[in-house]
Amino acid sequence: MKLAHIIFVASIVLSIVSCHKSDQDDDANPVVNPTDTTTLPPVETRPKVAPNQQPVFEGQTRVPGIQTQADIQVSTFATGLNRPSGLAFMPNGNIIISERPGSIRIVTSSGSVGSTIANVPAVRAQGDGGLLDVKLDLDFASTRLVFWSYVEPSAGNTGTNCIARARLSDDETAFENVTVIYRGTSPYTGVNHNGSRMLFDNNGLLYCAFGERFDNGIRVQAQELNSSLGKIIRINKDGSAAAGNPYLNTPDARPEIYSLGHRNPQGLAFNPVTGELWESEHGPQAGDEINIINPGNNYGWPVISYGLEYNGSVVGNGTQQSGMEQPIYYWDPAIAPSGMIFYTGSLIPEWQNNLFVAALAGTHIIRLVLNNTTHRVIKEERLLSTENRRIRHLAQGSDGAIYAITDETNGRIYRIGI
C-alpha cells in the first residue's frame, strides 16, 4: 500500500505539472483527477511494439490505472482440470467445464472434480482448437440442454468449427441425443485461430465468435460473407439463422452472420448497463481489441489493425479505414485476451458493471472501468499478476465472487472474492 500511496502522490504531482497542456496529453501522460484516490499511472509500462501508431481517440489504449480498495482474497477452488476452456454455473451451484482435449465434466459447488461425461464426439485438439466453450440452455432446469463449440476432425486432415447440443442425463454421467446443430464453412488443415466463444442473449439466441484460421491465404475470409471464418454468428437453438440477422437477404451471404472482420475472438459478454454485445479478440503482434458489436458491422481484420504482422510489417491499410469499426480499447504489447464478463455482483460493490478480461499471454485478469455514456474505457487494473498463470475464462458465482480457469494441463479454478 505504501508503494501505491507513493505512486498516487507522484501521479498527482505529474497531473498538476501537466494540467496546462491538456491538448497534448497522450496515453503516456494521462490526466489524473486529484480528487480520485484510486487513479494511478497506466498499468502497461512496456515499450510499444508499434510506437508509430496513434489511437484514434483519447483513452483507446493505456488509460490510467486503478487499484481495488477492497481486501480481495484469491483462493484455489479446484485443481486437476485438463486445459479447461469454458465454464458455466449450473442452477444447483455446480460448474460445468469444457476441456480442450475433448471432454466435459462437472465440478461440484464444493470444488470436487467429477468424471468426464460420456458421449462427447471426437474433437481435433491441435493448435488452439479442440473442445472450446460450453453453455447451458437458459431453460436448463427443465430442458437439461447443454451446448458446446469445438473443432470437428474433418476429411483430409482438416478441422471444422462446429456447435453441438445434447441433453445431460439425469444422473449427469452422459449426454443424450447429441446433435451437431451448426457446422461452419471452410474445413482447413491449419490448427490456429478457432475462437469459438459462445453466449446466449435473454431471448435464447446463441452467439458464437469464430476465428479466421490464422494463415494469410485463408484469413481474408474474415471479410467474405460466404464464409463463417472471422465472424460472429447468431443462431437459434436448432442451429438455424436467427430472424433479423443483417445478411438474411444478401445474395451468397451466410444468413447466420452477425458481424465480420474478426481475427481470433475468444470473449463475448453483454454490457448490463447498455445491453450492448461486447467482444474481445487477439491482434497480431499487439493490437488486442475490445469491440462493441453491432449487427452487420465490419471490425476490420485483416484490412486494419493496431499492432504489426509477425514479420514486423503494417497490417493491410493501417489502423483505420472508413466503413470499418475501431476497437473501443486495444493493447500494445499483446496480453492475449480470452473470456470476459461484466461484474454484476454485490460482494465487491466497487466492481459493479466493470469488465473483467482473462489474459493468456498476460497471465493475469484485467479489470476495466467504463464510462457507459461515452462508451470509453477509463481505468485499467491487473489482478492475479503474481500467480503467473494463463487465464482462459471467467464466470461470476452466485456468491458474487469471480471464478477463473487456467489454461494448463493441471488446470485450476481460482475463486476471487472477499
Q: Which residues bind Ca ion (CB under 5 A)?
A: 299-300
Please confirm, yes or no, whether 375 is among the known catalytic residues.
no
Of the candidates 236, 249, 253, 417, the residue with the CA atom closest to the CA atom of residue 343 = 417
Instruction: Count Cβ neighbours within 10 Å for each residue of 349-383 and write b for 16 or more, e otherwise.
Output: eebeebbbbbbbebbbbbbbbbeeeeebbebbbbb
For residue 5, the minimal CB distance to Ca ion (Å) is: 38
Q: Which is nearer to Ca ion, 143 or 192 (CB)?
A: 192
Main-chain phi, psi angles of 138, to 5 degrees:
-60, -30
Q: Which residue is catalytic, options 5, 193, 262, 282?
A: 193
What sign results for the dihedral spanned by CA atoms 191, 284, 99, 121?
negative
For residue 63, the minimal CB distance to Ca ion (Å) is: 18
Of the candidates 152, 88, 147, the residue with the CA atom closest to the CA atom of residue 121 = 152
For residue 283, the minimal CB distance to Ca ion (Å) is: 8
Which residue has its beta carbon closest to Ca ion? 300
Q: Which is nearer to Ca ion, 256 or 281 (CB)?
A: 281
Distance separating alpha carbons of residues 140 and 147, to the nearest angstrom: 10
| Identity at 225, one-letter amino acid code | L
For residue 248, the minimal CB distance to Ca ion (Å) is: 24
For residue 279, the minimal CB distance to Ca ion (Å) is: 10
Q: Which is nearer to Ca ion, 134 or 303 (CB)?
A: 303
For residue 298, the minimal CB distance to Ca ion (Å) is: 9
Distance separating alpha carbons of residues 289 and 331, to the nearest angstrom: 7
DSSP of 87-143: EEE-TTS-EEEEETTTEEEEE-TTS-EEEEPB-PPP---STT-SEEEEEE-TTHHHH
Q: Which is nearer to Ca ion, 282 or 390 (CB)?
A: 282
Q: Which is nearer to Ca ion, 304 or 404 (CB)?
A: 304
Distance separating alpha carbons of residues 281 and 83, to the nearest angstrom: 20
Total number of residues shown for the chain: 418
Cα distances (angstroms) measured from residue 146 to each of 23, 88, 135, 220: 52, 10, 6, 32
Coil, strand, or helix at residue 351? Answer: helix
Q: Which is nearer to Ca ion, 63 or 303 (CB)?
A: 303
Q: Which is nearer to Ca ion, 184 or 300 (CB)?
A: 300
Long-range contacts made by residues 23-29, C-beta under 8 angstroms, separation at least 24? 25/58, 26/58, 27/55, 27/58, 27/59, 27/60, 27/61, 27/62, 27/63, 28/62
Pairing type for strands 103-107 and 95-99 reads antiparallel
134: its cell numbers: 460450453
DSSP character at residue 171: T
Cα 195 to its chain centre, rounded Å, is: 9
For residue 394, the minimal CB distance to Ca ion (Å) is: 22
Q: Which residues are catalytic?
A: 193
